[in-house]
Structure 1
């Protein structure tokens, strides 16, 4: 018992030293500080994560709204263009076809009442040209009016016989008759074409050869026609002119006819490239689909 009491008495100074050391260094304050600091860092990291997530969500929402607004503007513009095309088609039909129809009727009346063969032939040529103009105008107006009904129009015309590309020999002969040598090279089998595509292809070659006569005196030309099942590829090249062009024949300048030709090609979903060649000549390339739906 005496030994146990002495042992307890000896531990009192040790306990007092521990208590005094704890009061001096206060270790609990460090743990409290560490705990608070850890909690603050964790809370701040959580807030930062929530902020970043909210910001990303907001940016994604704004981007989606902007894209939706852009799509809506595009659709509205397409709708406006479609309505304008329909309006122009109706106006063209009402004004131009009326006048051309009168010309055809007057030419027919002149042919009937003609007293000599020359007048009769001229009236017949005028009437035929007017009928061709009306046919082309109907095709172009049909394309302007065509929109979502293209598939139905295709289905309705699938069993109708389709013409092929008009004979280019007539255009070649016309150019050669005025002193422009033209070489014709055709490849592939002539596939059935929509009437408007055939006329557009014929018009491309006609315009290209006309430009050679107007802007490249003394040049020769080569016409290449590649027939495929899906597309028709036309290429017209001419060599460099050997003499200056006649200002009265060339008109205000080259390019106006090509602009109208490019617009016509785009109406049938084709492509047209016209560019000068390195040897001083000129080249025109066109690619046209064989079938184009046109409502009538």
Structure 2
């Protein structure tokens, strides 16, 4: 659009210049002048691809008819695009065009001779038509180069900042992975070893079963911990690990409830609504809510009876874990207190809500409502 307007402007300015020029040969009729102006306008429009045709038309028409608009625009483009050697060649061409125009002015005489053949007017016209546009083109190119250099520098600084941030995150992830491996994995490994030793040495069948259960849970915890450490050390492994060992969903819930029952808790499962497949992220979050709630029952309520409810609603999946008051005094297992905080973050990230509250009978309720939509079975 910009070059269309430029072509129209060159055409109009050229036509006005020719029509009002006293030195134009009287043998040229108006249609010829219109055609010459139209050619100048077309070459100005074509300058978006190549400005050399405009320069050629400008040189010919300035030397022949003292028509300056195409040469003015061509001089600006020369300043924008030519190298130092090209500028010297263009300057020499402009001097030659001015000489030819002066000869033509002396030939035609009259006003044309005064404009292009007299030294003062010729220099002033050359400066206005060729010199100033050339300088303006050089200034525009320099400004463009400065802006491009500043943009490139800003982009480079942004890339370096991102790289430094990624490096810092990688180092921090590696540090956390080392700490988890050296502390948590070591402690869990000791638990598994002691449970295995107890299972082998004890003569009591019930104790052996409990030791085997503890050992199995510990080995599962080590596997999960190894997966987390792998993700921390190399985030790109996350997708691969997800394919090899998919995270648990509601299909694994019965195994989780059986583990709690083996530890002496009476867990009852209730399902309401028609079970249907939902998004994997929703199922995983629901599973983690139930897992964390049962862990809190083990820590704080001992062998209190617990009800687990899964309710399939319209566009919503709701899970509830409600435990009764403990039957006998139970010493709390120390914890960091971040379990429910992490659950709330998981649930709210999916657009759901998490509610935790004690009841009047001394029990505790954990309830999560997760928005979900039905998915096609695999």
Alignment deviations for residues 147-174 of structure 1 (CA, whole Å, 9 cap, x no partner): 45678x67xx98x797974422456797
Alignment deviations for residues 176-217 of structure 1 (CA, whole Å, 9 cap, x no partner): 9568855375435999xxxxxx98774255347889xx9xxx
State the match for 2:208 in structure 1.
Answer: 120
Deviation at 1:71, TM superposition (A): 1.2
Mapped partners of 2:140, 2:155: distance in 1: 22
Q: What does 1:280-291 correspond to in 2, within 5 Å? A: 282-284=368-370
Give the secondary-structure state (helix, strand or coil) at the position aligned to 1:45. helix
Residue of 150, 157, 176 corresponding to 1:69: 157
| Contact 1:108–1:124 (CA under 8 A) maintained in structure 2 | yes
- RMSD, matched Cα: 5.2
| Contact 1:100–1:134 (CA under 8 A) maintained in structure 2 | yes
Give the secondary-structure state (helix, strand or coil) at the position aligned to 2:272. strand
Q: What does 1:82-161 correspond to in 2, within 5 Å? A: 82-147=170-235
State the match for 2:291 in structure 1.
Answer: 206
Q: What does 1:1-296 correspond to in 2, within 5 Å? A: 34-42=121-129, 43-147=131-235, 165=249, 166-169=251-254, 182-183=271-272, 186-188=275-277, 202-207=287-292, 222=310, 235-236=317-318, 256-257=338-339, 259-261=341-343, 272-275=350-353, 282-284=368-370
Unaligned 5+ runs, structure 1: 1-26, 192-197, 226-233, 239-248, 266-270, 288-296
Q: TM-score, normalised by structure 2?
A: 0.43
Mapped partners of 1:186, 1:120: distance in 2: 37
Mapped partners of 2:187, 2:294: distance in 1: 29
Unaligned 5+ runs, structure 2: 1-112, 301-306, 321-331, 356-366, 374-378
Give the secondary-structure state (helix, strand or coil) at the position aligned to 1:187. coil
Mapped partners of 2:287, 2:216: distance in 1: 17
- The 3 A distance-change label for structure 1 pair 73 and 39 is same
Give the secondary-structure state (helix, strand or coil) at the position aligned to 1:168. helix
The count of aligned residue pairs is: 218
Alignment deviations for residues 14-63 of structure 1 (CA, whole Å, 9 cap, x no partner): xxxxxxxxxxxxx9599666544433433223212221221112111210
Q: Which has the higher contact order (CA 8 A, sep 6+)?
A: 1
Give the secondary-structure state (helix, strand or coil) at the position aligned to 2:252. coil
Deviation at 1:272, TM superposition (A): 4.0
State the match for 1:245 in structure 2.
Answer: none
Give the secondary-structure state (helix, strand or coil) at the position aligned to 2:216. helix
